[in-house]
Amino acid sequence: MGENYGEKPKPSRRDFVAQALGLGALLARPARLLAQETLPTRPIPSTGEALPVVGFGSSKPVLESPTEGTEPIANVIRTLLEYGGRVIDTSPRTEAIDRDFGRVLQDPELTGRLFLAAKINTDGEQNGIDQWRQTQRLFGRRTVDLLQVESLRDVDLHWPNVRAWKDSGEARYIGVTVSANARHGSMETFMRENSPDFLHVNYSPLENGAEDRLLPLARDMGMAVLINRPFMNGSYFGRVAGKELPSWAAEFDCETWAQFSLKYVLANPAVTCVLTETTNPEHMEENIQAAFGRFPDDATRGRMRELLRSF
């Protein structure tokens, strides 16, 4: 089995405590009361700054906020913070949605504790400038931790400005994203020519193309790596629905199908942080637990891919 990044935590201890105390309610909402483990971290290669290895991809709860309100976003972020997590990935939405999201991000309970990643996702240089200025205004901050050009969209036009905003202190780090294997070739070219601080790419056991070239290249070039689509935007759960988790998953401290994918991702040493998108604090917590305990080695990761492909 692979490297052991932290002590296997708690469902068992939590359950034990709750059962010993006869607290059914505690079992229903236990871990946020008893959260004690702190997420393991990995360094951002260019500075050595430590990043917790599980972060929050905010798309779904942010897009749902006009009907569901912003409390689900805040609840998931609070759960992440309770475990020492802090990476929050965002993407520009409508002005109304981002104004509400910005209020959450400026909550004194949360602000100052986050590693906030923002994006530019529009065509045209001036639109990119306007979009960034709007994000700064709606999020109530001059500086974000990471500014990314999403899906390499008009990246040749935006990148010189993004670099300038790093120089002026408006972005601590800069990067680029893709979320489809078809864009990996363009991403490789961009990385080689521009050396961004961060690569942000899709990666999971069923979508593992990044491990051929992009992840080794990021390692060689000293780039931090954020991962999107660990659950293929949820379709992974359709694939494993009704299937039993194999008994050998226990050999790498994996208790659920969500952790099966996340442990596969985190076993890759090039990965700095995996973003998991959720509206549900209990899912966030389940995903955080994947960062503790053992990780699968290469042979086991091959077995994981084979099993999932057989479904």
Ligand X SMILES: NC(=O)c1ccc[n+]([C@@H]2O[C@H](COP(=O)([O-])OP(=O)(O)OC[C@H]3O[C@@H](n4cnc5c(N)ncnc54)[C@H](OP(=O)(O)O)[C@@H]3O)[C@@H](O)[C@H]2O)c1
* Complex with ligand X: residue 20 or 241, whichever CB lies closer: 241
Taking the least distance from each CB to ligand X, the nearer of 231 and 295 is 231
What span, in angstroms and rounded, lies between the C-alpha atoms of 211 and 226? 13
Q: Smaller CB distance to ligand X: residue 14 or 60? A: 60
Query: 167 or 311, CB closer to ligand X?
Result: 311
CB of 298 to ligand X, least distance (A): 23
CB contact at 8 A, 29 and 251: no
Nearest to 149 by CA among 215, 91, 214, 232: 91
Q: In the bound complex, what is the minimum distance in angstroms from residue 22's beta carbon to ligand X?
A: 28
- How many C-beta atoms surround the C-beta of residue 5 within 10 A? 17
DSSP designation for 294: B
Q: Which residue is nearest to ligand X (CB)?
A: 57
| Smaller CB separation from ligand X, 21 or 180 | 180
Q: How far is the CB of 162 from ligand X (least distance, A)?
A: 14
When computed from its CA atoms, the radius of gyration of the chain, rounded to whole angstroms, is 19
Q: Which is nearer to ligand X, 114 or 258 (CB)?
A: 258
Q: What are phi and psi of 37, to 5 degrees?
A: -75, 145
Question: Cβ of residue 176: shortest distance to ligand X, in angstroms?
Answer: 9
Cα distance between residue 293 and residue 7, in whole Å: 5
Query: 50 forms bridges with which residues in the sheet?
Result: 43
Nearest to 146 by CA among 211, 90, 215: 90
Shortest approach of ligand X to residue 180 CB, angstroms?
8
User: Cβ of residue 290: shortest distance to ligand X, in angstroms?
Assistant: 9
Between residues 135 and 151, which has the closer beta carbon with respect to ligand X?
151
Interface residues with ligand X (CB under 6 A)?
57-60, 89, 150-151, 177-179, 200, 228-234, 237, 258, 275-280, 283, 286-287
Spatial distance between the Cα atoms of 110 and 185, rounded to a whole number of angstroms? 38
DSSP state of 246: P
Distance of closest approach, residue 255 Cβ to ligand X, in angstroms: 11
Q: Are 225 and 218 in contact (CB under 8 A)?
A: yes
- At closest approach, how far in Å is the CB of 186 from ligand X? 12
Number of helical (H) and strand (E) elements in the chain, helices listed first: 15, 10
The angle formed by the CA atoms of residues 212, 218 and 219, to the nearest 5 degrees, is 95
Specify whether the CB–CB gap between 225 and 215 falls below 8 A.
yes
Q: Which of 283/303 has CB closer to ligand X?
A: 283
Residue with the two structure tokens 């293929």: 232
